[in-house]
Structure 1
Amino acid sequence: MLMLVNCSNCPTPLQLPPGARSIRCVLCHAVTHVADPCSVPLLPPYSASTTHQYQPLPLPAPSPYSHAPSGPSPSPYGPKRAVICGVSYKHSRHELKGCINDAKCMKYLLINRFKFPESSILMLTEEETDTYKRPTKYNMRLAMYWLVQGCQPGDSLVFHYSGHGSQQRNYAGDEVDGYDETLCPSDFESQGMIVDDEINATIVRPLPHGVKLHAIIDACHSGTVLDLPFLCKMDGHGGYVWEDHRPQSGISKGTSGGEVISFSGCADDQTSVDTSALSRVTSTGAMTYSFIQAIERGHGATYGSMLTAMRSTIRNADNALGGIVTSLLTILGTGGILGGLRQEPQLTANEEFDVFQKLFSL
């Protein structure tokens, strides 16, 4: 059993060694002191409080994130594991229509196309009756810890998020544009957002050699929300370069030997659209729809072909529906651009590679 506390200076969750009274943060290097660790009940593995205080997490019922079936494997849910978050912000002024549909579609894709066992997929949506499966900040943090817990060489992990994304001013000097990217849980107005530094520290840096993680992030301002070191800048003629986003401070944003690749809905300075215009049937996120369509239409051979197909799907929607969507974005005050859908899917990774040669697989 471990005790996990938040850094006293930043929101990074830290594992306090048994009996220790202090620990140094890997991000900001601040030293966090705990007065009497023996008097604080231990927390389940890979959990964290939602505040900056060192309080045990209330566990009124067995948590699906810390309970594992019996068996010899240290990776209890097998070599494939996924966390899927669909946040609709129901009955609030932030409500989105397509995010739960995105989550259901992604689950179907993982099970039927990529053979993920249903028991190895954690769904977090407002439709869930289980307290631990609602997309609150507390539960999303628990789920991210669960995703990487006990992973070993050969494992394939997926983190999918569909919901609001945002930005906040960065003062650590580790962002090219001066802003941290964030995800917005269902209770973000009261509990706060999940910052890219924490996401990186939780599901990127711990990954050991031989483990692969794919993130599919359908949100505004999501281009570098995993804080990965390299961003693929692709032009409209099949050319690309890797843009170096490693901070000058020297803080590592890579893994412990594993591989992380992220598809996101748009650049850090762009917004993503929640619309039924693409599917013609029901409301979905444009990025999740274009990701699934690229695979279903046979364009998922390489990462380059995936990204090209995703951008083409959204661009075609621009041409067909741009005037309507531009007017809507203007009314909403989100600043539409010529063509309408103000987003361009992005690809980031912990290491550079040939995007048109590297085969795509989950």
Structure 2
Amino acid sequence: MEAASKYRRYRKGVSSPTSTTVHGCKAECLDLLPSRTDQYCCFFCHNNASYSTLEHEKSRENCGLGCPVKKIGSKLFKLGHPNSSNKSGNLLGRPSSTSVAFSSVLPTRYDKRAVLCGVSYTKRKFRLKGTINDIRNMKELLVKNFKFPNECIRVLTEQEHDANLIPTKHNILESLRWLVKECKPGDSLVFYFSGHGLQQPDFKEDEIDGLDETLCPVDFMKEGMITDNEINSTIVWPLKKGVILHAIVDACHSGTILDLLHVYNYGRGIWEDNKPPSKEPIRKHTSGGLAICLSACEDSQTAADSTVFGGKGMNGVLTYLFTKTIRECPEITYGRLLEKIHDEMKKINQRRCHNRILQHIFHCKIAQDPLLSSSEKFDVSATIFKL
């Protein structure tokens, strides 16, 4: 069962209670609970908050990663955690004065800008080992294949010396504001994220499935997660006519993480509406620009890090296949890109586990379906992927 445990450890998120998949959980969340009364319970362990302190103590070894919740009537409400994690280092050997180059206004204006965020949760049990490789991979792709200037790529990891470049909630949101600030026609913007993704109850009634998708910054247990609503209002709303934003998100439950109005159904080959179901009008559109998102999986699925790609350590499955495909086919269309990524995942599954019994025991199947969403419909079979 060691293989099964290893696979679960590096999933980029933990399923919500609505998921039918059972995951190995973390024991440390019991210590994070602000109170051990019968009103509190770990959100990802149980679907109700009626467990007694003794019952919760007994179940702590199966306790899930996530925020505690309080039961009010028949509903569960998330509460914040008192702990955080924040360490610095240096990913790309930059001096500590890097923040000068990443001021809110660049000395020279570029029509290409990018924010690359990789969160490893270094000192946590739910740490990820592939995000640094993902960041290196993505930056190299942007510089070599799409001619992004180094000085207009902002990298946030826990290895940075500059405190402003640690992937905290505050720093990530500030970087996203920097990305779209004073955008002009002709600008190509990129947001990349590799880390944990979760879901939480949707209280604004703007989600078809009743759940908001979220990204987890390094300090999410103290400061909270970044919701799809926050991401939408921060980097989708400001996009002016002639500006194109691409988001590549390698995290669990990331399908509609930008809350874009159209989702591409790969199986049927058509665009489907993702309009908010609420009666009150809720803004989800741009200011004339175009936002496109490639997510690691559908909202209900988990994404994986893997060593299946050879001697390069852990890599996010989506990130590795995405960058590999673009390098091999630089003039590829969006439709063909999706097709090749799906085909590569099928090949990996066929190579790793031909025996269904072993597949069930060791959980070696990569069960994620990359998802394309957009603020506008377009012909995926004829449009070339460009950044």
TM-score, normalising length: structure 1: 0.75
Residue 92 of structure 1 corresponds to: 124
Distance 2:180 2:378 in 1: 24
Change (3 A) 1:67 1:214: closer
Distance 2:213 2:357 in 1: 24
Q: Pick from 335, 338, 344: which aligns with 1:313?
A: 344
Residue 349 of structure 1 corresponds to: 374
- The reply on whether 1:191 has 2:228 as its aligned counterpart is no
Distance 2:367 2:187 in 1: 35
Query: Contact 1:87–1:163 at 8 Å: present in 2 too?
Result: yes
Q: Pick from 41, 53, 68: which aligns with 2:105?
A: 68
- Residue by residue over 1:211-243, the C-alpha shift from the partner in whole angstroms, topping out at 9 and shown as x without a partner, is 0000000000000000001110111xxx41111
Change (3 A) 1:324 1:138: farther
Distance 1:165 1:213 in 2: 20
Distance 2:360 2:193 in 1: 22
- Residue by residue over 1:304-335, the C-alpha shift from the partner in whole angstroms, topping out at 9 and shown as x without a partner, is 0111111112221111124799979977xxxx
Q: Pick from 275, 300, 304: which aligns with 2:306?
A: 275
Matches within 5 A, 1:313-332: 313-322=344-353
Distance 1:222 1:330 in 2: 26
Query: Contact 1:300–1:306 at 8 Å: present in 2 too?
Result: no
Partner-residue secondary structure (3-state), 2:238: coil
Distance 2:247 2:355 in 1: 31
- The reply on whether 1:251 has 2:288 as its aligned counterpart is no
Change (3 A) 1:299 1:322: farther
Partner-residue secondary structure (3-state), 1:95: coil
What is the CA RMSD across the aligned residues, in angstroms? 2.3
* Aligned residue identity for 2:221: E
**The structure with more helix, counted as a fraction of residues:** 2
Query: Contact 1:299–1:305 at 8 Å: present in 2 too?
Result: no
Change (3 A) 1:326 1:69: farther
Matches within 5 A, 1:8-157: 65-70=102-107, 76=109, 78-157=110-189
Structure 1 residue 252 displacement after superposition? 2.5
Residue 44 of structure 2 corresponds to: none
* Aligned residue identity for 1:357: A
Residue 328 of structure 2 corresponds to: 297
Structure 1 residue 300 displacement after superposition? 4.8
Distance 2:132 2:338 in 1: 23
Partner-residue secondary structure (3-state), 1:113: helix
- Residue by residue over 1:99-139, the C-alpha shift from the partner in whole angstroms, topping out at 9 and shown as x without a partner, is 11101110011001100000000000011010001111111
Residue 229 of structure 1 corresponds to: 261
Structure 1 residue 281 displacement after superposition? 2.5
- Residue by residue over 1:43-99, the C-alpha shift from the partner in whole angstroms, topping out at 9 and shown as x without a partner, is xxxxxxxx9xxxxxxxxx97765443446xxxx3x0000000011111211100101
Partner-residue secondary structure (3-state), 2:247: strand
- Give the % identical residues: 44
Q: Which has the higher contact order (CA 8 A, sep 6+)?
A: 2
Change (3 A) 1:275 1:325: farther
Distance 1:93 1:324 in 2: 31
Query: Contact 1:325–1:341 at 8 Å: present in 2 too?
Result: no
- The reply on whether 1:174 has 2:206 as its aligned counterpart is yes
Query: Contact 1:299–1:306 at 8 Å: present in 2 too?
Result: no
Distance 1:200 1:329 in 2: 38
- Residue by residue over 1:131-169, the C-alpha shift from the partner in whole angstroms, topping out at 9 and shown as x without a partner, is 001111111011000000111000000000000000001
Residue 242 of structure 1 corresponds to: 271
Distance 2:135 2:356 in 1: 23
Residue 340 of structure 1 corresponds to: 365
Residue ranges of structure 1 left out of the alignment (5+ in a row):
1-50, 52-60
* Aligned residue identity for 1:360: F
Q: Aligned residue pairs: how many?
A: 289
- Residue by residue over 1:175-208, the C-alpha shift from the partner in whole angstroms, topping out at 9 and shown as x without a partner, is 1111000000011111110000000000001100
Query: Contact 2:251–2:302 at 8 Å: present in 1 too?
Result: yes
Partner-residue secondary structure (3-state), 2:376: coil
Distance 1:96 1:196 in 2: 22
Distance 2:100 2:271 in 1: 41
Change (3 A) 1:178 1:323: farther
- Residue by residue over 1:6-25, the C-alpha shift from the partner in whole angstroms, topping out at 9 and shown as x without a partner, is xxxxxxxxxxxxxxxxxxxx
Change (3 A) 1:65 1:315: same
